[in-house]
Structure 1
């Protein structure tokens, strides 16, 4: 049975904003494209990170679970020095690249992995665990409806 670790601190950190992303670490190794498909089928998408605080939360999860994982950023196929988010979110200008990254050492480094020290471009055909996100929307759902989603996720991993 696959192990999925849910990170609920986002819900409680700084209050529950109108839309909250809950990040889920999927401890199953897949290529980036397979991970994206899995996240889109089971959650919203591969994780999008838009702040230092959010990045630190994912890095903290990695410290307890694994050393690196896919996130939803990838190299734009038409503009090779531009990276975009899998879910189409272009509103953020947040990046947490490691020193001398992205380096594009090989032409196949079009995907992005996160570890405890930052982000790096990485070959999309490598197999890694990954982060998905699920959006909880306070304005369009009651707390009970959002809680039911979380409870269902917890039951699925037990």
Structure 2
């Protein structure tokens, strides 16, 4: 019989308001996307626009871990190529439009890869390829990092954002030649950061940042509006929460997030805390979960997963001990508390499948 254990994480970090970033406002009223847009335009600036991972990290501090919220991304009628790395400061005039397509391309497929000859092709984003990350962090030895693992495009994007900066952008012919030389010895094509979609921001921003949950956006008819989806996720032997994007019919009712103009502030950094309750099913029933070394190993795994989902690097993740000094509590079969938790888990997993 499996042992079901419940544990509590304390996730905390400092957030300093900035005058150059969007100021997000959570509106808890449930409404459809169009009414949410009207409300945000009347009381703030517009439904939330998310320009990059920094925006995403700050936005999720304003939402609950167990709900979904409209943001301003909506499906349009025309398709356009974008770079995964959305920071406008990274590109000079005309560089977002540089292309080096092979003859007869682009054709079918929404994600781009580069051949060892330096020419670009497009294919299904679900295909598996090696990929090239761009690393713009100070102190790194490499600008272009070749990852010789086969991944789908969105998984490659997640890997690059977690470990470097993003999938590589190719801004001009000089960079195209550099990358061609980088991958030529591998003999295999690589994903680059170029993708095709028809999604548009409510405020008409040209931000290309997307943070879809793997397997999304859904291609179902009428799934034209975007939710920040904070959901319960099971990975190996524990449940945890993550915030990604999914698309849903615009007529459904959800709370929503507006943004307003940035406000100059001299506020001191504010400590943000989230307490997350999780369920763990140990594979090894003889595992001594009271051992501090075992607890630290599990905690480090959770830190890595949260980092992968875009949590700021300076965020602290620690165990929150109960009054009896324990971290893990076994729930007995048939206990009211366990039944309540299982019902909540079931609701969350059902919601994820919608």
Residue of structure 2 in register with 1:84 after alignment: 200
Whether the aligned pair in 1 keeps the contact of 2:24 and 2:62 (CA below 8 Å) is no
Whether the aligned pair in 2 keeps the contact of 1:97 and 1:119 (CA below 8 Å) is yes
- Residue 136 (structure 1) shift: 2.4
Residue of structure 1 in register with 2:23 after alignment: 22
Residue of structure 2 in register with 1:156 after alignment: none
Unaligned runs of 5+ in 2: 1-13, 81-196, 231-242, 268-354
- Residue 23 (structure 1) shift: 0.1
The structure with the greater share of residues assigned to helix is 1
Match of 2:211 among 84, 91, 96: 96
RMSD: 2.4
- 1:115 matched to 2:229? The reply is yes
Structure 2 distance, partners of 1:137, 1:60, is 18
Residue of structure 1 in register with 2:74 after alignment: 74
- Residue 98 (structure 1) shift: 0.4
Residue of structure 1 in register with 2:62 after alignment: 61
Structure 1 distance, partners of 2:41, 2:204, is 13
For residues 82-118 of structure 1, give each alpha carbon's deviation from its aligned partner in whole angstroms, at most 9, with x where no partner exists: 101000101x22110000111122x111100002331
Structure number with greater Rg is 2
Structure 2 distance, partners of 1:31, 1:46, is 12
Structure 1 distance, partners of 2:69, 2:40, is 13
TM-score of the two chains, using structure 1 as the length reference:
0.70
Structure 2 distance, partners of 1:96, 1:136, is 23
How many residues are treated as equivalent by the alignment? 126
Structure 1 distance, partners of 2:262, 2:228, is 23
TM-score of the two chains, using structure 2 as the length reference:
0.33
- Residue 137 (structure 1) shift: 5.5
For residues 20-76 of structure 1, give each alpha carbon's deviation from its aligned partner in whole angstroms, at most 9, with x where no partner exists: 311000000000000000000000000000111211222232235x51100000001
